[in-house]
Structure 1
Amino acid sequence: MNSKKMVLIGLVLTAFFSSLAVFELIPGLLMAFLLLSVGIAVTYYFALSRMRLESLAGISILLKAAKEIGKESKAPEISRQLGLWAQRLVKSEAVLVWWQGEWAFGDEEFTAWPGLETAREWVKNNNEVLVLNQNGGEIFSHPWPSNINSLLGLPLMVAGEAAGILFLLNESKRGYFVPQDSEALEVICQQAAAALNKARDYQEVEYFYKEILFSMLNALDSRFPGFTGHSQRVARVAVLLGSKLGLDEEELRILEYAALLHDAGKVFFLQEGLPGEAGELEEMDKELSVLPMEEHPPLGAQILPDEGVFARICQGILYHHERYDGSGYPEGLSRTDIPLAARIIAVADLYDALTRLAPEEERLEPEFAIKEMKKTMGMLLDPLVVIVLEEVERELDEIT
């Protein structure tokens, strides 16, 4: 029932009971009671409606905040978004974010306050929300800044431990924080903790990329000079295709690493003295494949740990020789059972083989290479990815 109908019913009932009272058909005391009841009912209805609207508005803000925080993949921006949304949800003088042993966001004026270090240690050790006012009691004996009288600290939990903390500081005129203030922030703290943890995974990938990846690529390049730059070109084409297919920043980074490492398994063949002469390119088989060594995808996938973000990178490495019709290897997957990253890498890999890796007299111009690849759509390659490749043909020269 909407508010207009409720008001109309209230007016009708009031008029009805008033008429009865005028004609003295009901006692005056009973009339007063009935009128009071109608008034209370209408007031209660509007109060509930107001509370419901405020609740829906709060939920809407929380959902928007969680979405904005979750789509970020870099720790500084995640921390900034968390701080800004926290201040919007719970008004405060200042907000700070501590993550993985350092202050990721906040005013240096307050990060230097000794009291904040004490509060940080307490939240980290107890994994609980801390609400602290100027009468902080036994756990807090530090002088407060002149314009601050209340502190709220919420742990950013990862694997059961406070890997980070969100702090809000209130000035005197805003009043003290209360435990209920933390309830509005718990949702975005959970989202931020998950996003920051993903960002930490990416840092591990970056370390692996810098310390190990280049050494493997250099080993391949030195053994097969004709393949120099192949993995980098495949990665650039794959990222271009992925962006056109709507992959987000996180998915594009995973795709890039998988593409860079798609031939990493060849390192094991090199160690065993296999195969061929430097710069030699195996003759393309009937599947237009330039990599006949069927063992290199699983060997390459084994280089990375099968957990976290690495597991997703492994999928692109392991399955980039699967074919759309199920005729590929190592598992004979078909269609959308093949991870999208692997389907994209397969297209980028073959494109580079036809335009750059083939002997000079056999290399194809991009236009003709794409025409040849279109003949394999639905059999070897994902039709959608090939169509996107054709759409970005003019951009390929700039990145390859």
Structure 2
Amino acid sequence: MKIEELNEGFYEKLLTIWEKLNASLELDYILRNAMAYLEEVLEAERSSIWELDEQKEELFFRVFSGGDRDKVEEIRLKIGEGVAGHTAMTSAPVIIEDAENSRLWSVKVDERTHFQTKSILSVPLLFREKVVGVVQLINKKNGGVFTGRDLRSVEMMCIPIATALVNAKLFKELEQTFMETALALADAIEKRDRYTAGHTRRVTRYAMWIAEEINLPAAEKKWLALSGILHDIGKIGIRDNILNKDGPLGSGEFETMKQHTVFGAEIVEKIHSLGKVVGGILYHHEKMDGSGYPKGLKGEEIPLFARIISVADTYDAMTTDRPYRKGLSSEEATKELEKMSGSQFDPDMVAAFLRRIPREVRDAN
């Protein structure tokens, strides 16, 4: 597409990207598409978005086109270093017609990628007059140079990109705060049960091992982690004399203990944004053959998060000492999981855990 062909279609596309940037949970995907569109419109060979790490006062790649992402992951530019660093320092755009002979240019990226940078259009990402990153277009095709019109097009795109980056950072901070709060709550509940110190964190860690082995999407991993953290939150409704009993529970006591899954789900489902974690909490004691509780679900009727947490929870229970029994070794516990695979546990989740646990045990020793 030639720059002269910019018309209403460009602005329609721009508005569509703005809308997606402000609404999308898959921010990096939308950012890559936005930069790909700018590459097409401005006839550039490559593009990138540098994000500012305020604490370290460094720029790092958030988006990098060209297929060499793994080669540039660790590159950092100080404020004032290179064209991107200069753009961040001055809060002003710059057009470099001959990069190799420019005093601003840094060779770091080209050295890693073996790409030859010739011309650069570098534009600051500003949010409320504060730099949050830098957008760059690299090498005008056919040996041309970037123009003022190119600059104006990029500046228009920078407005929603900057806003999206700030929103994503705020969301990540809020998400981290929420996770820490949930962990603090789980730790407080565990303090009532003197036999399960650290149980929540271990179960969550084991669940994440399984998630990694089955290639669970990153967004789902976050919900799974929260399910793991909150899976026993319902124990807040169980009496201390049952929770801390020195021996095995009687039948009536066990029926009461079983209610912790229901209590936990009732607590969490009141928070509408946590709908995805309710199944992991309510059903993590269900069994594949239908003999579990609270609903007697079978097979894939049991939500995936619950099937994962069930394996993690049982492994931790088996390997934890109790007053009336000593915990099993890791080898003994994994053999028990194998025996119950298919009847009590999802065989795929057991297999994933068994693939991972030897490596983790080996690395810990």
Alignment partner of 1:372 is 2:336 = yes
Structure 2 counterpart of 1:177, from 125, 130, 149: 149
For 1:177, what is the secondary structure of its paired residue? helix
Residues 36 and 47 of structure 2 are in contact (CA less than 8 Å); yes or no, is this contact kept in structure 1? Answer: no
Matched position secondary structure for 1:328:
coil
Cα shift readout 1:194-219 (whole Å, capped 9, x = no counterpart): 89867754432211122x22332332
How many residues are treated as equivalent by the alignment? 280
Mapped to 2, the partners of 1:399 and 1:284 lie a distance apart of 37
Aligned equivalents of 1:97, 1:366: Cα separation in 2: 43
Report the secondary structure of 2:340's partner residue. coil
Q: Give the gaps of 5 or more residues in structure 1.
A: 1-65, 117-147, 157-163
1:231 pairs with one of 200, 207, 218: 200
What's 1:390 paired with?
354
Code of the residue aligned with 2:306 in structure 1: it is A
Q: Deviations over 1:47-89 (max 9, x none)?
A: xxxxxxxxxxxxxxxxxxx9xxx9978xxx7899678757754
Q: CA deviation at 1:292?
A: 2.7
Q: Shift of the alpha carbon at 1:268? A: 3.6
Q: Is the 8 A contact 2:207 2:312 kept in 1?
A: yes
Please say if 1:322 is aligned against 2:294: no
1:85/1:258 Cα in 2 relative to 1: closer, same or farther (>3 Å)? same
Summarize the Cα distance change of 1:248–1:258 in structure 2 as closer, same or farther, 3 Å threshold: same
Check the 8 A contact 2:39/2:137 in 1, yes or no: no
Counterparts in 2 of 1:223 and 1:83: CA distance versus 1, 3 Å = same
Q: Structure 1 residues 313, 85: CA separation in 2 closer, same or farther (over 3 Å shift)?
A: farther
Cα distance in 2 for residues equivalent to 1:284 and 1:87: 68
Partner of 2:177: 207
Residue of structure 2 in register with 1:47 after alignment: none
Aligned to 1:293: 259
**Contact residue 315 and residue 334 of structure 2 kept, 8 A:** yes
Amino acid of the residue matched to residue 296 of structure 1? F
**Cα shift readout 1:226-276 (whole Å, capped 9, x = no counterpart):** 11011111111111111111223333333222212211222243xxx4443
Q: Aligned ranges for residues 55-66 of structure 1 at < 5 Å?
A: none
Cα distance in 2 between the residues matched to 1:381 and 1:196? 42
Describe the shift of the 1:312–1:391 C-alpha distance in structure 2 as closer, same or farther (beyond 3 A): same
TM-score (norm 2): 0.56
Distance change in 2, residues 1:302/1:72 (3 Å): closer
Instruction: Indicate whether 1:340 and 2:317 are aligned.
Output: no
Change (3 A) 1:361 1:198: same
C-alpha distance in 1, partners of 2:332/2:227?
27
Q: Once the two structures are superposed, what CA deviation does each residue of 1:165-194 show, in whole Å capped at 9, x if it has no partner? A: 996689994224369978xx89xx89x998
Distance 2:328 2:234 in 1: 27
Q: Distance in 2 between matches of 1:361 and 1:325?
A: 27
Report the 3-state secondary structure (helix = DSSP H, G, I; strand = E; otherwise coil) of the residue aligned with 2:176.
helix
Q: Distance in 1 between matches of 2:258 and 2:48?
A: 60
CA distance in 2, matches of 1:255, 1:167: 34
1:294-340 Cα offsets, whole Å, 9 max, x none, are 4333145347x222xx3323332233223223443444433223222
Which TM-score applies when normalising by structure 1? Answer: 0.52
Give the conservation status (yes or no) of the 8 Å contact 1:97–1:165. Answer: yes
* Residues 220 and 227, structure 1, Cα contact 8 Å, conserved in 2: no
Equivalent in the alignment of 2:86: 109
**RMSD over aligned Cα atoms:** 5.3
Q: Is 1:276 aligned to 2:242, yes or no?
A: yes
- Map 1:127-142; keep pairs closer than 5 Å: none
CA contact (8 A) 1:297 1:321 kept: no
Gaps of 5+ in 2: 1-19, 53-57, 61-78, 94-118
**Alpha-carbon distance in 2 for matches of 1:355, 1:336:** 27
Aligned in 2, Cα 1:79/1:332: closer, same or farther, shift over 3 Å? same
Residues 281, 290 of structure 1: 8 Å contact kept: no
Say which SS state the counterpart of residue 288 (structure 2) adopts: coil
